[in-house]
Chain A
């Protein structure tokens, strides 16, 4: 089996949200990453009216630092940007925002985007919310096909969505949308919460895993939880996965010192990747 390459792992800027974008770029370039996964959250990039100029400036800065934008992750959770919303105004707003992220990906040279399913409200029909999510995803997948981009949908935890929360519902949604542009992202934190494994995902998804979020327990910096990195790497290799990966740190206490947390994460992963048998 061919070893996995750490170079395939992109660093996400979400844990640098208390620092400027330039601080993030310089930090990860210095650490040794070559790819970034751009989370479009405030204050780094909110995709408002001047997004084209912002994206061009970001691209230039990345080029200068030897970084490429591997993926875009539109920030929608916590915002009125829910693709499954019952209010047509909110739903249209969410779709327009993600289409803009697809447009931004052209400027940034990112080939993929990561999406979440949106959510219904708990005192409403899940079936209706599911249909709205599916219809929105179908519209976005069409737009992605025209734009030569790929979308990876993530199953998220029940506190964020009551629609797509595990490998089965993720598979069902991807099958129903049935577009060459839509596949899955598997996140090692979320899957563990559901008692699932990389095997559950890879066995079920039949080659439609477009990205792996290679994350520590509770999305902590690597080394601070107890996720079995060697098991993950071994399983990914056994499925001959050679696609892109992202590492995320989503733990507020670590947002105060994002460089140290990301450096520790990189060092831990470097050691783990070097030890692959």
Chain B
């Protein structure tokens, strides 16, 4: 690798949700991991219920364990959080929750927070969902500007969203929101599920590409490297060739690994340390 370096790779707590926060933090220390993406979800930290004091306690714990955050990701798939819905009450509440997420992200001194585009009912026009999503994201980007946090939009599959589900749609949303605090991220499982070429996605987003979720897949699934069939090394070379300097998070968003999350993360880091050596 020319420029891509090991210190860009981040651990994460996505698959630690059947263990305590303390278990996760100790696991990171045992693995000598210092950069993490924080999945803000029950039972570790739920922004819907959390207080500023709880956020302060979390910040203290992260510091005690020598951990820096590259990104926060609030659970937006299983919670009733949806910024594109036709239901105005749910939409307003969702925006308020995401504003709190941005505040917590700022409090935790984390530069980025991940967002999804939301969805309308699939029997209603997608274009109206798109407009509602863009308007909500514009409001949230403004909140991000005040809090010095940049939002990164992630494409998800059609099983999650009917607004932003391809890289061209990601790019279009970044252009329409048009804010210095609204950029994009890529997840190689999502791009493969959408049938996209990863190098073309990186090229399309250019300097707006700021954050990355990395995992093996079939093509989705978020597996440990080697358990799926995706060309992981080729992605790494693409990142290197593009001069990518953002974080690359191992996201094992898969119940398979919840029984022994430490062992799963250990294998991810053995893999990447072997390659980057």
Residue pair B119, A80 in contact (C-beta under 8 Å): no
Binary flags per residue of A150-179, CB closer than 8 Å to B gives 1, else 0: 000000001110100000000000000000
Whether A241 sits at the interface, judged by CB under 8 Å, is no
Whether B145 sits at the interface, judged by CB under 8 Å, is no
Residue pair A121, B82 in contact (C-beta under 8 Å): no
A79 in contact with B79 given A43-B90, A119-B18, A121-B20 (CB within 8 Å): yes
- Shortest Cβ distance from residue A87 to the other chain B in the assembled complex, whole angstroms: 7
Residue pair B159, A80 in contact (C-beta under 8 Å): no
Size category of the A interface is: 20 to 34
Residue pair A255, B159 in contact (C-beta under 8 Å): yes
Residue pair A80, B80 in contact (C-beta under 8 Å): no
Size category of the B interface is: 20 to 34
Residue pair B121, A18 in contact (C-beta under 8 Å): yes
Which residues of B from 62 to 85 have beta carbons under 8 Å from A?
A: 75, 78-80, 82, 85
Residue pair A256, B49 in contact (C-beta under 8 Å): no
Residue pair B43, A121 in contact (C-beta under 8 Å): yes
Residue pair A19, B122 in contact (C-beta under 8 Å): yes
**B20: A residues at CB distance < 8 A:** 121, 123-124
Whether B259 sits at the interface, judged by CB under 8 Å, is yes
**A18: B residues at CB distance < 8 A:** 119, 121-122, 162
**B256: A residues at CB distance < 8 A:** 159
Complex-state Cα separation, A82 to B42, whole angstroms: 10
Binary flags per residue of A66-101, CB closer than 8 Å to B gives 1, else 0: 000000000001111010010101100000000000
What total count of A-B pairs have CB within 8 Å? 70
Residue pair A43, B159 in contact (C-beta under 8 Å): no
- Shortest Cβ distance from residue A212 to the other chain B in the assembled complex, whole angstroms: 25
Residue pair B80, A42 in contact (C-beta under 8 Å): yes
Which A residue's beta carbon lies closest to that of B262? A123
Which residues of A from 97 to 135 have beta carbons under 8 Å from B?
A: 119, 121-124
Complex-state Cα separation, A174 to B75, whole angstroms: 33
Residue pair B82, A43 in contact (C-beta under 8 Å): yes
Complex-state Cα separation, A79 to B76, whole angstroms: 11
- Shortest Cβ distance from residue B153 to the other chain A in the assembled complex, whole angstroms: 20
**B124: A residues at CB distance < 8 A:** 20
Chain B interface, >50% SS class: loop
Residue pair B49, A122 in contact (C-beta under 8 Å): no
Residue pair B48, A80 in contact (C-beta under 8 Å): yes
- Shortest Cβ distance from residue A262 to the other chain B in the assembled complex, whole angstroms: 15
- Shortest Cβ distance from residue A91 to the other chain B in the assembled complex, whole angstroms: 11
Which residues of B from 234 to 277 have beta carbons under 8 Å from A?
A: 255-256, 258-259
Residue pair A256, B90 in contact (C-beta under 8 Å): no
Pick from A79, A82, A122, A252: contact of B259, CB under 8 Å: A122
Pick from A41, A87, A253: contact of B159, CB under 8 Å: A253
**A239: B residues at CB distance < 8 A:** none
Complex-state Cα separation, A108 to B49, whole angstroms: 30
Binary flags per residue of B1-32, CB closer than 8 Å to A gives 1, else 0: 00000000000000000111001000000000
Complex-state Cα separation, A159 to B87, whole angstroms: 32
Whether A23 sits at the interface, judged by CB under 8 Å, is yes
Whether A233 sits at the interface, judged by CB under 8 Å, is no
**A20: B residues at CB distance < 8 A:** 121, 123-124
Chain A residues at the B interface, C-beta cutoff of 8 Å: 18-20, 23, 41-43, 46, 77-80, 82, 85, 87, 89-90, 119, 121-124, 158-160, 162, 252-253, 255-256
**Sample of 29 A–B contacts (CB below 8 Å):** A18-B119, A18-B122, A18-B162, A19-B121, A19-B122, A23-B121, A42-B80, A42-B82, A42-B90, A43-B82, A43-B85, A78-B78, A78-B79, A82-B42, A85-B43, A87-B43, A89-B49, A90-B43, A119-B18, A121-B19, A121-B20, A121-B23, A122-B18, A122-B258, A123-B19, A159-B255, A253-B159, A255-B159, A256-B122
Chain B residues at the A interface, C-beta cutoff of 8 Å: 18-20, 23, 42-43, 46, 48-49, 75, 78-80, 82, 85, 87, 90, 119, 121-124, 158-159, 162, 255-256, 258-259
